[in-house]
Structure 1
Amino acid sequence: MTFAWTALGRCALVAVLFISSLASAANYDRRVFDIPMRDGVKLHTVIVLPKGAKHAPILLTRTPYNAEWMTKQKESNDMRVLLEGFDNAADVIVEGGYIRVVQDIRGKHGSGGDFVMTRPLAGSPFNRTSVDESTDAYDTIDWLVKHVAETDGKVGVIGISYNGFTTLMALVNPHPALKVAVPMDPMVDGWRGDDWFHNGAFRQYAIAAIHGSESRDNSIEFSWDSADRYETFMRAGSVGELARRRGTDKVQYWRNIVEHPAYDEFWQSQAVDRILASRPLQVPVMISGSLWDQEDIYGATAVYKALEPKDDTGKKVYLTLGPWHHAHAIFDGSSVGNIRWGHDTAKWWRQNVLAPFLAHHLKGAPMDVAPVTAFQSGSNEWRRLEQWPPASANTAKLYLKPEGELGFDAVPGATQTADYISDPADPVTFVPRPIRVDDNGEQWEPWLTTDQRSSAARPDVLTFTSQVLDKAVSIAGEPIVRLTASTSGTDSDWVVKLIDVYPDRVADDPAMSGYQLPIAMEIFRGRYRQSLSQATPLESNVPLRYEFALPDANHVFRPGHRIMVQVQSSWFPLYDRNPQTFVPNIFLAKPRDYVKATQKVVVAGPDASHIVLPVTQ
């Protein structure tokens, strides 16, 4: 805060006395330190302690998002008000009596050193230094337990999104004082299904974040030449050309992405689930994921799959799956977009799962937290499970059929196809236009719950719909797509959506009549059909099998509803357009490479396309 000093000394004195009285009335103490790391670089660290704290555990978050901002979001003498906002589960922190510590990672805001996006492990081919986010976490915890007199020496790490990544990295070589970790919606694998790519298709929205990533305060903004993102991306042609026009191609991480479009060693060596799977499990961890996470929907369950087999005691690996968008768990969780749950699901989880979990591991309190706490949409209830997916899950094949039908029985006989023309000049949008640049998250945050009727009306989207259900169909786990399809081009994207269609009339909520609610949706870039690490052209006009997973779901398709599957070949401008002509690197595609293609999806015969559903009783 900047004060304009005047000759009115008395006013200045009053201001100073007022600020002093606020400080003395506050129910917390706030301290700032620059903590030295093993290589001499100092990291800016803010510590907020409950007034009079003694023998209190520490909750640490390491962040690129500005430690000062996260620990002074509002001027207040109340610690809870001070902390309310992104990545502070303020109610749990304050009610639990924890010492709150937030630290700027290297190269960001008040910290020294240089910033490297999701910094690879020290000593790897992509990081020749002796430091990484794991060593910095270790050195920070070591300093805190030695220099914060009010602590009892127990530390937990917690964080959302990028801070979820740094939380997980603290587990690579954990400090002995680290007693618990809670990564929430963490960045885990930037190629398989988190921020940068999904199965090889590039998430164009990332260009704005990458553009300013090397600035210390994230202040370099990406320039949009239209209020509609659709226009900006279409005018440039390819996202690589847009990067060249905006100067993003000068940013090192952008160059890394362009140089590594396939799932090669660059991505595999940084995948946090792979890293942790190769190390001993030493610290209890609760991974929290969001079922409609528009940014990092892959990471939570990927880490759970990597760690759960290592938990021979059954007391170290926990999972939460909540009905939320990204970073939603610390805010009001009563709804996502148009979908209302009937209660504040996020508050319930914080009070009944997060708080007792932390208290158990940091304060020795008893807890009654299930190994898996998963919200079931449709019934809109929390479920306590022993594992994920639940042991009761079986598989059932949901077949795409001729004439837009969908069902659990295959159509025998000769091969039949459902066809459409995919035109890169008129791509299918992921939400209806305009796709706003400045929407304060209103369009972006809940987009995975957007009504899909706008897509179903397009001729380049195949829609398959079941009969009205006379009994519930419950799924819990990862639906697997087995799509058999051909293209007249030499490359193609395939987007598959699993959708819950509401009844034509919903008496108690007319706005939801006929609503097409996405349950799980994903994209797959055809060039990686044979190998994720090596792109190869597709053989034109030859039916080929594509197999890939949709994000995990925990949902009941209720009686009176219908199940729908949509198939399309673009999802713009969230994902870059596939030229549909094979080129070595799509980032470098030229206008002449973008061609129409005839897509044929097999819907009958021995190779009929289907989704393997994880069905439960």
Structure 2
Amino acid sequence: MSFLPSATLKSRRFATSRERLPTMQPNYAVDMRLNIRTPMRDGVDLSSDIYLPKASGKFPTVLMRTPYDNNTPLMIEKAMRLANSGYACVIQDVRGRWDSDGVHYALFGHGPDGFDTQEWIGQQEWSDGKIGMAGGSYLGWVQWQSAPHRSQYLTCIAPRVMCGDLYSGLIHPGGAFQLNVALTWGMRTNGRTAQSIDYHNWTEAFRSIPLIDMDQQAGRTLQFWRDWVTHSEYDSYWDSVNVENKWGEIAAPALIMGGWYDLYSHNTFINFNGLRLHGRTPEARQSQLIVGPWPHALSVSTKTGDVDFGSNSLYDLEDLELRWFDYWLKGIDNGIVGEAPLRLFIMGVNEWRDESEWPLARTDWQKWYLHSSGNANTLLGDGSLSPVEPGEEPADHFVYDPDFPVQTVGGNNCCSPHIVPWGPYDQRDVEMRSDVLCYTSEPLAADLEVTGPIKVVLYAVTDGLDTDWTAKLVDVSTSGYAKNLCDGIVRARYREGFAAPKLLQPGQTYQYEIDLAVTGNVFRKGHRIRIEVSSSNFPRFDRNHNTGNDLGTDAEMRRAQQTVQHSRAHPSHVLLPVIPRQ
């Protein structure tokens, strides 16, 4: 979850029908107070750098809490801009990182520390008693963690690119282990300061077994890694930091920011709905969300992966965030809360659109069914996709060998694109593998918009006690370029829930629901819709060894004979949220 803190690079704001004159901002000189010791309830002092307008009076405060060093140029530049604009800005190293005392344990313990910091800020002579929070990824996580504690001073938050549930959103989506981000980010963000990960042989590191010892194979012993692997089911460990069951405890409104190709694309919508529908106060229920065609770094380039989405795709998120703070912290009636709560960039046509709810109320939920004559292997096979229900059709078969998994090529990855790329890429090399089933529609007669959550319902059989099933939604252009939109995974033992795993009966048909996250895309006329089905997506996710053994300590592997059914009795399909043309 290392990222460009708060996406501070400036970018062009798109034009809308609500063109407005910019709010005139003051231009204060800045007073810096560095390494101010901030006491926590247990006696540990955290390090806070404070940037104040050089003027008499009290000011609202923007708080950023980070594990990535509060003294980086990007952080300082943002703090200076905020102070120029009449805000006090506090940037704090989280517990056990950089200049702060205490012991760092990744992602846990930030609720009380955030609350204590807010209470401390509210009592300072320069504070007017109103606090907003800013930042993305880990800096967004600490916002969500502190918000349910409801400091009397916390007025609004602006979390970017972060989930509320670590289990399903970060470490164990679909019950699998999100290997790439957990290992690369974990190796970089352990101990007190940043660690280099650029000299590892990641190909070898990702393949080492057993999973629980992978940190040591890569050169470090990470207690949080071992805990993440050991807690493979959803239990009290994960529940203790799950914000998704605490929406009713959050009083502060949130300006949420996300990207279609971000690691947390789906989670931003969960957070948005959580506060809009269940927030504790009317203010919390005025939360807003913006989603662009961006990866984890958000709006820093027109290009994500292979695809250039054009200058219109860039958005000045700093300006948007400042308007949010101006309204909630300064009481400036700039109209932001009267604007649409949801702003989406629709790929394919590359246009921004305002919406009121998620999923969109006008959604036409369509089942598109998997078909074949039993040979859907590779993009050259006979797999097809259509709204027509299947009759009696032969099943498709492939062998999943965990020693030769399907490679990750782009997608919703984080946070080291030089190691595992993020965003859209051509999937045709992946689709030439015999262990990848491809179901492709006929060329579309007209544009078809698909905007919303995507789910594949799969009827499948394996010959072992456990396995994985993966699926991917792909937009195939008239040239054949196969652009990935979103994908997902389900670990078979967790098909009925993440708290109580159940192994399989070999040879028995089971129904699986694979959450492919979300997208907002227009399949253009002449394009085709494709669904890929397989059993691995490595190294984004760890490999299921197909043994049914303990996932963390298993050093044995076996090949699995996989069968995907698509018949009248077992109608495998993708549920597409089709948006009618207006």
TM-score range, shorter chain: 0.7 to 0.9
Q: Is the 8 A contact 2:50 2:88 kept in 1?
A: yes
* 1:478 counterpart SS class: strand
Corresponding position of 1:83: 76
Aligned pairs (5 A) from 1:97-246:
97-119=86-108, 132-149=109-126, 151-194=127-170, 196-205=171-180, 206-211=182-187, 213-219=189-195, 226=201, 229-234=202-207, 236-246=208-218
Q: Is the 8 A contact 2:28 2:83 kept in 1?
A: no
Aligned pairs (5 A) from 1:505-524:
514-524=480-490
1:428 to 396, 406, 419: 406
Q: Counterpart amino acid of 2:278?
A: K
Q: Relative to 1, partners in 2 of residues 1:100 and 1:484: Cα closer, same or farther, differing over 3 Å?
A: same
Q: Relative to 1, partners in 2 of residues 1:526 and 1:385: Cα closer, same or farther, differing over 3 Å?
A: same
* 1:409 is aligned to 2:411: no
Q: Relative to 1, partners in 2 of residues 1:231 and 1:431: Cα closer, same or farther, differing over 3 Å?
A: farther
Corresponding position of 1:258: 229
1:222-266 per-residue CA deviation (whole Å, 9 max, x = no partner) reads 69653xx223333x2332343343464x43212312321112222
Distance 2:153 2:497 in 1: 42
* 2:226 counterpart SS class: helix
Q: Relative to 1, partners in 2 of residues 1:431 and 1:480: Cα closer, same or farther, differing over 3 Å?
A: closer
Structure 1 window deviating more from structure 2 (309-318 vs 179-188): it is 309-318
* 1:541 is aligned to 2:507: yes
Aligned pairs (5 A) from 1:361-376:
361-365=328-332, 366-368=334-336, 369-376=339-346
* 1:386 is aligned to 2:356: yes
1:339 to 307, 310, 321: 307
Q: Relative to 1, partners in 2 of residues 1:89 and 1:99: Cα closer, same or farther, differing over 3 Å?
A: closer
Q: Is the 8 A contact 2:390 2:567 kept in 1?
A: yes
Q: Relative to 1, partners in 2 of residues 1:552 and 1:456: Cα closer, same or farther, differing over 3 Å?
A: same
Measured after TM superposition, the shift of residue 350 of structure 1 is 4.1
Q: Counterpart amino acid of 1:579?
A: H
Q: Is the 8 A contact 2:188 2:194 kept in 1?
A: yes
Return the index of the structure with the highest Cα Rg: 1
Corresponding position of 1:395: 365
Measured after TM superposition, the shift of residue 463 of structure 1 is 0.8
Distance 2:554 2:297 in 1: 35
Distance 1:224 1:232 in 2: 11
Aligned pairs (5 A) from 1:345-360:
345-351=313-319, 353-360=320-327
Q: Relative to 1, partners in 2 of residues 1:425 and 1:83: Cα closer, same or farther, differing over 3 Å?
A: same
Q: Relative to 1, partners in 2 of residues 1:464 and 1:282: Cα closer, same or farther, differing over 3 Å?
A: same
1:186-233 per-residue CA deviation (whole Å, 9 max, x = no partner) reads 142222132x222121122212433465411143x569653xx22333
Distance 2:125 2:350 in 1: 43
Measured after TM superposition, the shift of residue 384 of structure 1 is 1.0
Corresponding position of 2:559: 596
Q: Relative to 1, partners in 2 of residues 1:346 and 1:89: Cα closer, same or farther, differing over 3 Å?
A: farther
Q: Relative to 1, partners in 2 of residues 1:154 and 1:148: Cα closer, same or farther, differing over 3 Å?
A: same
Distance 1:521 1:440 in 2: 19
Q: Is the 8 A contact 2:304 2:422 kept in 1?
A: no
Measured after TM superposition, the shift of residue 367 of structure 1 is 1.8
Measured after TM superposition, the shift of residue 133 of structure 1 is 2.2
Corresponding position of 2:32: 30
* 1:291 is aligned to 2:270: no
Q: Is the 8 A contact 1:96 1:355 kept in 2?
A: no
Distance 1:109 1:349 in 2: 28
Q: Counterpart amino acid of 2:142?
A: T
Distance 1:271 1:471 in 2: 43
Q: Counterpart amino acid of 1:104?
A: D
2:64 to 47, 58, 61: 61
Distance 2:265 2:210 in 1: 25
Measured after TM superposition, the shift of residue 407 of structure 1 is 0.9
Distance 2:71 2:219 in 1: 30
Distance 1:339 1:89 in 2: 33
Measured after TM superposition, the shift of residue 603 of structure 1 is 2.3
Q: Which runs of 5+ in 1 are unaligned?
A: 1-24, 74-81, 120-131, 505-513
Q: Which runs of 5+ in 2 are unaligned?
A: 1-26, 373-381
Distance 1:138 1:603 in 2: 52
Corresponding position of 2:444: 469
Distance 2:47 2:292 in 1: 33
Q: Counterpart amino acid of 1:429?
A: Q
Corresponding position of 2:249: 280
Q: Counterpart amino acid of 1:135?
A: P
Corresponding position of 1:525: 491
2:435 to 460, 469, 473: 460
* 1:496 is aligned to 2:496: no
Measured after TM superposition, the shift of residue 344 of structure 1 is 5.1
Q: Counterpart amino acid of 2:286?
A: K
Corresponding position of 2:14: none
Root mean square deviation of aligned Cα: 2.6
Q: Relative to 1, partners in 2 of residues 1:134 and 1:346: Cα closer, same or farther, differing over 3 Å?
A: farther
Q: Is the 8 A contact 1:155 1:362 kept in 2?
A: yes
Q: Is the 8 A contact 1:223 1:246 kept in 2?
A: no
* 1:303 is aligned to 2:275: no
Q: Relative to 1, partners in 2 of residues 1:270 and 1:109: Cα closer, same or farther, differing over 3 Å?
A: same
Corresponding position of 2:293: 323
Q: Is the 8 A contact 2:313 2:350 kept in 1?
A: no
Measured after TM superposition, the shift of residue 394 of structure 1 is 2.5
1:370-416 per-residue CA deviation (whole Å, 9 max, x = no partner) reads 1111111112111111111111112100111112111111122x252
* 2:104 counterpart SS class: coil
How many positions carry a matched residue from both structures?
535
Distance 1:35 1:339 in 2: 45
Distance 2:401 2:198 in 1: 27
* 1:551 counterpart SS class: strand
* 1:479 counterpart SS class: strand
* 2:95 counterpart SS class: coil
Measured after TM superposition, the shift of residue 428 of structure 1 is 0.8
Measured after TM superposition, the shift of residue 280 of structure 1 is 3.1
Distance 2:30 2:197 in 1: 38
* 1:468 counterpart SS class: coil
Q: Counterpart amino acid of 1:605?
A: R
Q: Is the 8 A contact 1:416 1:605 kept in 2?
A: no
Q: Is the 8 A contact 2:150 2:249 kept in 1?
A: no
Distance 1:440 1:115 in 2: 22
Distance 1:98 1:565 in 2: 49
Measured after TM superposition, the shift of residue 345 of structure 1 is 3.2
